[in-house]
Structure 1
């Protein structure tokens, strides 16, 4: 439902749904049924999602209610949806997604099982054309913001004939390119983090780094504390590994420490996953006091912390990071460059406590053997020459302007920010359920990020996450206001 594209009737890339037309060779019933079927197949309508009522759907598409009933009947016959007495029509859970040996499933468990489907949709969408319109639900900066001449120059520099042959015909270093690890070590030490190059491991993006830590420290059934609202992919990833997810409410200064303490007493969690700086989706940044208290809890109850600093490149200077305060004793620091510079280079890394480095490296080797040293060397060149720093400064300035515009437009459209706008994302209250609103906006060619996707257990929400870089144009907000008004 976010960061994804919708394959419409003509099977062309893009987001704008083709209009239902009475001159088509197919009946209106067939066109409407195919529209919903396509969204279900593309996982834009995940299992458990509720379809509009017959009356709502008829009004939205200017159809006779009997046409909608006939279309829903076709979807039921295809096994795609089911009718629930006195409740409406819902997308069916596919048998292939059911867990082996599972018995009866509670509504809470079912909603948690559907979260990975929507998170997978988020990932799938990054590999499709986004159409001509800026997409409010995007989780990344627009490609045109990331364009820079120095990247091509860096690649040319590290692919001279001799270097290219040497790097292509043998595996790279298991830990990652030594030059990049030295550059990263210096960068982290400048932040106050005692990260030696021998304790830094390069990865295929930051998500891979998070996965390496999880697979090394945890076993199925272990309890993991994760901030909520939080990144949908992280909930899905841990769920797929068989972990017990313990959602911790995230506030302006940090996680809810009282909830964490109760979890520690009742569940003995092994890990806490945190986005300290420019938290996704709220934009919150951790306060020093909260950071110290989290570290005290970790010491008292013997759990580790993974600090995901994906958005650190656009963060204010001297932002609080637990890995700095802790000195990489109980913390694992994770970051990468996909969000700020080169998404397709897939260069990420993690810095770990020394005692864990070899075990983490074993996990990396079992999954990927090594990582591409040529792109790692090019990234080292970009950092070492100061090009990444200057690029990040330009992005921050451009984002400041976009954020100011987007905030004014959102407020004029009747939205209320529940967190102080900061960083790339805004966390806004629309006043209406954003899941059905998302489907209606999809008909207009816009993908939004409904609030339900940012919780471990799916539940109706009036919140949505917006990308400030892609919501600074009035056109989207005019469509949003019109559909929001008819949904209230």
Structure 2
């Protein structure tokens, strides 16, 4: 049984999550004193951004009990962290990890601009949690599968045809040509032609001249934002949604308008109110296999979104990052409106080659030149060698067959992971679909995430997917990396340790 919509509960100040002490046992025979060891463990976690700014440290009493220490030892360790500027003491509340970097109270990116009367915009806070999640992706994983990962495991993506494609495009003459001169600013011509054919097969009326290749899909989203927006502009984004998108728009100084996402699509009544009060310039949507819920847009909802866009003069940015694992004939707004008010974004990092960083956008003809100018200001061009190799992978049908194998393997993994999650006491808020599951754990997942990290597991707590970063009992799981019963046993043990 799933719930169609679930919003995070906001606890009182006294219920804010407490960060756990890093897990390894302190040594009484080490060269460092117990005070120094304890302080360094907290400092290391803070430096690595694995303990986010704003997280509360355990009370002196809690910390002393957990480690069998004298309270004075904990006080001395916290004093060292205070002296190093890593934590701050708040009267009658405890010790908290400090925000790092210059204060941003006076900057466009650091405060919420004034809004129209009668239509409040949720406060957008600093995007430290998104950065923490990204840094965690590159943190040593101790060889364990990572439940919070946003990608398939490397072994799922292994194949023989990628290296063959690279060899084909890197003969002596081709390698010299690709290495010693800039490529086409708009992207490799063969890749754009191959992409146009593929997209036309989906019903998207894409001409090669409308396609711009990018350094991954995130770069494509950034090009669109920098071209079409200026600081203070309002942008509608689905919530729950992608933490990096909230953070990226926040850093550019935009007003983020969170739109609740349900099984059929975005909350159209909320969008209507935003349009009347704030005149947003963009709506950013993941139509197919939405992250983190797995929802896919219905044709009726897509049609009404496009009607709103026409009536209120905003553009739709359709992020189709997960389209390669989507059901055939899934609804896409770019198909329904013929790329009139829609900019389509996708890439290949999720399904094939994360480090090739090949992405692209498809825009209405009137916007292509402006978007290309923005790309060139940032990157001049894109490396053509890997783009040409990607074109061969698509043209020969290898990508299509590879995606079919991934989809079949994912279907099996999803079934197993869902059963393990439910046996561990989790409840699916959205029907399991795609790569991610959206589950209610019954406990604060931000605090739980730190406890699991001590055991070597990176997770994605629900607060990451909300613009206001409110504590939540929700968590996103990756079906491909949560088939390990050992993780769920650890999860059950720690989730019960309130």
Asked if TM exceeds 0.5, the reply is yes
Other-structure match for 2:351: 340
Q: CA RMSD in A?
A: 2.1
Other-structure match for 1:113: 125
Seen in structure 2, the aligned counterparts of structure 1 residues 277 and 62 have a Cα distance that, compared at 3 Å, is farther
What is the 5 A alignment of 1:387-402?
387-402=398-413
SS at match of 1:432: coil
Other-structure match for 2:311: 300
Task: Please identify, of 77-86 and 302-311, the stretch whose mean Cα deviation from structure 2 is larger.
Answer: 77-86
What is the 5 A alignment of 1:132-171?
132-171=143-182
From 489, 492, 495, the equivalent of 1:481 is: 492
Other-structure match for 1:324: 335
**What's the CA shift string for 1:182-229, capped at 9, x where partnerless?**
100011100001000000000000000000111111011100000011
Number of matched residues? 470
Other-structure match for 1:176: 187
**What's the CA shift string for 1:47-106, capped at 9, x where partnerless?**
212223334434444544443333223222222112223333211122425355689979
**What's the CA shift string for 1:95-149, capped at 9, x where partnerless?**
425355689979x99983332x221233334444432111111111111111111
Structure 1 residue 169: Cα displacement: 1.4
Other-structure match for 1:313: 324
Other-structure match for 1:35: 41
Unaligned runs of 5+ in 2: 1-21, 113-119
Seen in structure 2, the aligned counterparts of structure 1 residues 420 and 121 have a Cα distance that, compared at 3 Å, is same
Structure 1 residue 39: Cα displacement: 1.4
Seen in structure 2, the aligned counterparts of structure 1 residues 183 and 429 have a Cα distance that, compared at 3 Å, is same
Structure 1 residue 315: Cα displacement: 0.7
Seen in structure 2, the aligned counterparts of structure 1 residues 386 and 17 have a Cα distance that, compared at 3 Å, is farther
Structure 1 residue 459: Cα displacement: 1.2
> Residues 416 and 483 of structure 2 are in contact (CA less than 8 Å); yes or no, is this contact kept in structure 1?
yes
2-structure distance, mates of 1:254, 1:59: 48
- Match status 1:426 vs 2:432: no
SS at match of 2:407: helix
From 234, 239, 254, the equivalent of 2:250 is: 239
Seen in structure 2, the aligned counterparts of structure 1 residues 101 and 125 have a Cα distance that, compared at 3 Å, is closer
1-structure distance, mates of 2:110, 2:436: 38
Seen in structure 2, the aligned counterparts of structure 1 residues 66 and 430 have a Cα distance that, compared at 3 Å, is farther
Other-structure match for 1:11: none
Other-structure match for 1:285: 296
SS at match of 1:486: coil
